[in-house]
């Protein structure tokens, strides 16, 4: 009789846990991100610069008037005109990239950019939900002359369409783009790159993160948040790897962790010793030749995933605000 009662009590506990789990999942599923108001506009700087058949003083004045915050940044970081030579610099920029049909290729591929803008708006709605103090930004598209992929200014997310074109062979730019970065010059990585710009700005580096474990947890937190902003994005784009490299990490997760432990790397403060595990590059030093860079970031991400499962009642904010990397590791009980 005692055994039967014990079994019934155990069954009731399991049942109640199941109910709570289902309710938590339903609660998460009911979040209506679309109801979160976002003040964000799509600004087509690329069209304003390249659409006019000719570009004179009137066009320049209009450009400055319509893009008062962004034009100075473009002039300083991309155009870099000599004093009093803005029109000459703009003509040279337009003529050169027109000769390569870069703007036309961008128009053909992205059109009105509305689908991408809608996705970025949803991303910002999610950001606003998790962090109510987040101030949404406009989205500004441009041709940067392959100068940068994206940047977050004080008022806008700037996206260089020329760095995501299917029609461009970026391998020909070997002097400017390392081989290990080529895969990222693809439209599939655009939204993840925008998420990186938002997260990097919101969650800046900290000089107190000195050990490999510190850096792993820091990188893992950012990837964890990026996935919250882009829940349907392929994971390899979130971390910026090729699909094959990410699959290698998935298949070798336990071995990666064992390597860090056996080499006593977690508490190392020798950045040169562990930088290949937490920065983009061609490989992870000391691991098999198939191992991509950023295996440390990958592991930090998996630690955060483990922590979120152990702390299901904790908000995303609280999970990210624990700055003690050892405490995070202990609480996550990570054991691949």
Residues 28-50: pLDDT tens digits? Answer: 456 889 889 999 999 999 999 99
In this prediction, residue 147 carries a pLDDT of: 86
In this prediction, residue 72 carries a pLDDT of: 94
CB 93 within 8 A of CB 144: no
In this prediction, residue 9 carries a pLDDT of: 36
In this prediction, residue 34 carries a pLDDT of: 86
**And the tokens for 201?**
């700005």
In this prediction, residue 83 carries a pLDDT of: 84
**How many residues are there in the chain?**
336
- Own/partner pairs for 161-165, CB < 8 Å, 24+ apart? 161/46, 161/106, 161/109, 161/110, 161/113, 162/97, 162/102, 162/105, 162/106, 164/109, 164/189, 164/190, 165/102, 165/105, 165/106, 165/109
In this prediction, residue 323 carries a pLDDT of: 84
Sheet with 138-142, edge to edge strand ranges:
42-44, 138-142, 156-160, 150-152
Global model pTM greater than 0.95: no
In this prediction, residue 20 carries a pLDDT of: 37
Instruction: Pick out the chain residues at pLDDT < 70.
Output: 1-30
In this prediction, residue 8 carries a pLDDT of: 36
In this prediction, residue 19 carries a pLDDT of: 36
């Amino acid at each position: 009789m005692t055994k039967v009662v014990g079994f019934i009590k155990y069954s009731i506990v399991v049942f109640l846990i199941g109910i709570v789990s289902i309710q938590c999942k339903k609660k998460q599923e009911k979040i209506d991100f679309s109801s979160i108001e976002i003040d964000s506009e799509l600004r087509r700087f690329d069209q304003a610069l390249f659409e006019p058949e000719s570009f004179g003083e009137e066009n320049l004045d209009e450009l400055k008037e319509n893009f008062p915050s962004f034009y100075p940044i473009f002039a300083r970081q991309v155009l870099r005109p000599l004093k009093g030579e803005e029109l000459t610099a703009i003509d040279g920029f337009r003529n050169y990239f027109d000769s390569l049909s870069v703007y036309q290729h961008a128009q053909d591929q992205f059109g009105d950019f509305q689908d991408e803008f809608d996705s970025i708006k949803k991303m910002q709605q999610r950001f606003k939900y998790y962090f109510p103090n987040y101030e949404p930004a406009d989205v500004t598209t441009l041709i940067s002359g392959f100068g940068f992929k994206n940047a977050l200014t004080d008022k806008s997310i700037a996206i260089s369409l020329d760095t995501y074109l299917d029609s461009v062979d970026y391998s020909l730019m070997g002097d400017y783009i390392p081989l290990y970065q080529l895969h990222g010059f693809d439209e599939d990585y655009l939204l993840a790159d925008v998420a990186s710009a938002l997260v990097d700005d919101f969650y800046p580096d900290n000089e107190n993160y000195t050990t490999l474990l510190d850096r792993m947890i820091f990188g893992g937190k950012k990837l964890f948040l990026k996935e919250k902003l882009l829940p349907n994005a392929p994971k390899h784009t979130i971390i910026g790897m090729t699909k094959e490299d990410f699959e290698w990490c998935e298949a070798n997760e336990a071995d990666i962790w064992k390597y860090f432990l056996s080499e006593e790397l977690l508490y190392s403060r020798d950045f040169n010793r562990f930088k290949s595990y937490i920065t983009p590059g061609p490989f992870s030093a000391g691991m098999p030749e198939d191992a991509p860079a950023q295996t440390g970031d990958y592991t930090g991400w998996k630690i955060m995933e483990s922590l979120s499962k152990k702390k299901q009642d904790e908000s995303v904010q609280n999970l990210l605000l624990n700055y003690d990397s050892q405490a995070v590791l202990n609480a996550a009980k990570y054991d691949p």
